[in-house]
């Protein structure tokens, strides 16, 4: 990988490689853009098969955070960190060593909980640095609010595609019944949808099927289901040539990050198949909005009201995509760039 060429092309400002011999910590912190404020992004712990794979993930996810913050009208930058480890290698020493690296950045990077980290883990990191959000004592963790944002996004897409944001009677398939997926199923059940669910963990599938009367589906069958909405809430890159060609859903609205394997090719493939795609970093911004409100003094009402802006932003994006002929993904990137430029100009006016 050509490091400087890669980071310059995607617009990254800084990448840190953190190594702590005593605890065995190996982590990468990527700061994509801090023009509007400190870079925010949760930390993911994953046994990457190679260092290049870890770096690629950190670079891609941190760039997504910049766009996510901008589309959510949050005056913060984008960053992301990955710890290269198996979950069983996670120790208090390793997490605290990681916390010390963050503290040394002196607020330039603010982090929280992502895959394979628990609120307890975040508290270990928090022992060494104050630049942590999303601990349970503060705003209650990001997943429940992320699920609310996905529900609102789904409603906006239904409004745009079917003329009504009432989800009652629609068929919705949820892939992944983790923290976000289970909260989303709860909301969808309350909205009286016909629910189809899949997960590689059979116990989670049985639990959700029992609680909400959902139909259980084998993981590989979820893409070809005859449903109105597909909600990917598991892992990334699930929108690819093989899966899109099976799809019968009219709308894709889910929380997973980096859903498109190739942003351009698969974004266009969805448009060609007349599938309305809710760009991932727009629809899954609820958790980020919630933790941002921790930073400015948490008030639940204000945070949830901010999350409701996801509905309007998506409607704006769908219109923009339709009138310009762009994919919704491209339209969201353009919207983010516009908002960053406007906010930067406003900051310059204030400081002039």
Burial class (CB in 10 A: 0-12, 13-18, 19+), 259: buried
Query: Smallest gap, in angstroms, from Cβ of residue 255 to ligand NAD?
Result: 4
The residue behind tokens 């307890």 is 120
Stretch that binds ligand NAD, among 29-37, 87-95, 193-201, 319-327 (CB under 6 A): 193-201
Which structure tokens are listed for 56? 């690629």
Query: Smallest gap, in angstroms, from Cβ of residue 218 to ligand NAD?
Result: 9
Stretch that binds ligand NAD, among 18-26, 47-55, 254-262, 339-347 (CB under 6 A): 254-262
Please say whether the beta carbons of 289 and 307 come within 8 A: yes
Query: Smallest gap, in angstroms, from Cβ of residue 272 to ligand NAD?
Result: 25
Residues 6+ apart with CB under 8 A from 209: 197, 215, 216
Asked if 176 touches ligand NAD (CB under 6 A), the answer is yes
Query: Smallest gap, in angstroms, from Cβ of residue 15 to ligand NAD?
Result: 20
Stretch that binds ligand NAD, among 28-36, 195-203, 268-276, 327-335 (CB under 6 A): 195-203
80 is catalytic: yes
Q: How many Cβ atoms from other residues are within 10 Å of residue 200's Cβ?
A: 13
Residue 116 annotated as lining a ligand binding site: no
Beta bridge partners of 26: 19
Query: Smallest gap, in angstroms, from Cβ of residue 280 to ligand NAD?
Result: 8
Report helix, strand or coil for 261: coil
Residue of this chain nearest to ligand NAD (CB atom):
178
Residue 79 annotated as lining a ligand binding site: no
Please say whether the beta carbons of 330 and 168 come within 8 A: no
Asked if 200 touches ligand NAD (CB under 6 A), the answer is yes
Give the end-to-end CA distance of the chain in Å, rounded to a whole number.
41
Asked if 256 touches ligand NAD (CB under 6 A), the answer is yes
Burial 185-196 (b: 16+ CB within 10 A, else e): bbbbeebebbbb
Q: Which parts of 270-299 interact with ligand NAD (CB under 6 A)?
A: 284, 287
E runs forming strands in 107-257: 109-110, 171-175, 194-198, 215-216, 229-232, 251-252
Which structure tokens are listed for 26? 């190996």
Nearer to ligand NAD, 15 or 205 (CB): 205
Asked if 204 touches ligand NAD (CB under 6 A), the answer is yes
Report helix, strand or coil for 33: strand
How far is residue 72's CA from residue 310's CA, in Å, rounded to a whole number?
Answer: 7
Stretch that binds ligand NAD, among 119-127, 189-197, 208-216, 252-260 (CB under 6 A): 252-260
The binder of ligand NAD chosen from 39, 102, 143, 173 (CB under 6 A): 143
Residue 177 annotated as lining a ligand binding site: yes
Catalytic residue among 26, 68, 80, 155: 80
Nearer to ligand NAD, 23 or 240 (CB): 240
Beta bridge partners of 46: 84
Asked if 234 touches ligand NAD (CB under 6 A), the answer is yes
Stretch that binds ligand NAD, among 28-36, 71-79, 170-178, 311-319 (CB under 6 A): 170-178
DSSP at 252: E
Query: Smallest gap, in angstroms, from Cβ of residue 74 to ligand NAD?
Result: 14
CA dist list (Å): 214 to 140, 152, 217: 27, 20, 9
Give the distance, in angstroms, between the CA of residue 221 and the centroid of all CA atoms in the same chain: 24
How far is residue 230's CA from residue 248's CA, in Å, rounded to a whole number?
Answer: 9
Asked if 177 touches ligand NAD (CB under 6 A), the answer is yes
Asked if 233 touches ligand NAD (CB under 6 A), the answer is yes
Q: How many residues bind ligand NAD (CB under 6 A)?
A: 25
Asked if 123 touches ligand NAD (CB under 6 A), the answer is no
Which residues are marked as active site? 80
Residue ranges for the binding site for NAD(+)?
A: 176-181
């Amino acid at each position: 990988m050509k490091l400087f060429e890669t980071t310059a092309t995607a617009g990254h400002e800084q990448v840190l490689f953190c190594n702590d011999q005593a605890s065995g910590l190996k982590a990468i912190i990527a700061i994509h853009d801090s023009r509007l404020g400190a870079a925010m992004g949760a930390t993911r712990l994953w046994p990457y098969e190679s260092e290049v794979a870890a770096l690629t993930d950190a670079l891609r996810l941190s760039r997504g955070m910049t766009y996510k913050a901008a589309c959510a009208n949050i005056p913060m930058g984008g960053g992301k960190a990955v710890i290269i480890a198996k979950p069983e290698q996670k120790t208090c020493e390793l997490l605290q060593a990681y916390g010390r690296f963050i503290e040394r950045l002196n607020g330039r990077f603010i982090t929280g909980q992502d895959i394979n980290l628990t609120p307890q883990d975040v508290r270990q990191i928090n022992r060494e640095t104050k630049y942590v959000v999303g601990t349970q004592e503060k705003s209650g963790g990001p997943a429940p609010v992320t699920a609310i944002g996905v529900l609102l996004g789904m409603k906006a897409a239904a409004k745009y595609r079917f003329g009504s944001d009432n989800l009652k009677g629609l068929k919705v398939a949820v892939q992944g019944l983790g923290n976000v997926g289970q909260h989303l199923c709860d909301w969808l059940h309350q909205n009286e949808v016909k629910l189809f669910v899949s997960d590689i963990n059979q116990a989670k599938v049985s639990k959700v099927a029992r609680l909400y009367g959902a139909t259980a589906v084998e993981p590989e069958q979820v893409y070809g289901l005859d449903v109105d909405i597909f909600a990917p809430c598991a892992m990334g890159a699930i929108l690819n040539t093989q899966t899109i060609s099976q799809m019968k859903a009219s709308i894709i609205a889910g929380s997973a990050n980096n859903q498109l394997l190739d942003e351009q090719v698969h974004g266009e493939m969805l448009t060609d198949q007349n599938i309305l795609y809710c760009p991932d970093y727009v629809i899954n911004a609820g958790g980020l909005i919630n933790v941002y409100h921790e930073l400015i003094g948490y008030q639940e009402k204000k945070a949830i009201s901010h999350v409701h802006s996801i509905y309007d932003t998506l409607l704006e994006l769908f219109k923009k995509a339709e009138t310009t002929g762009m994919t919704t993904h491209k339209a969201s990137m353009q919207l983010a760039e516009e908002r960053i430029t406007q906010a930067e100009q406003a900051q310059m006016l204030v400081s002039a």
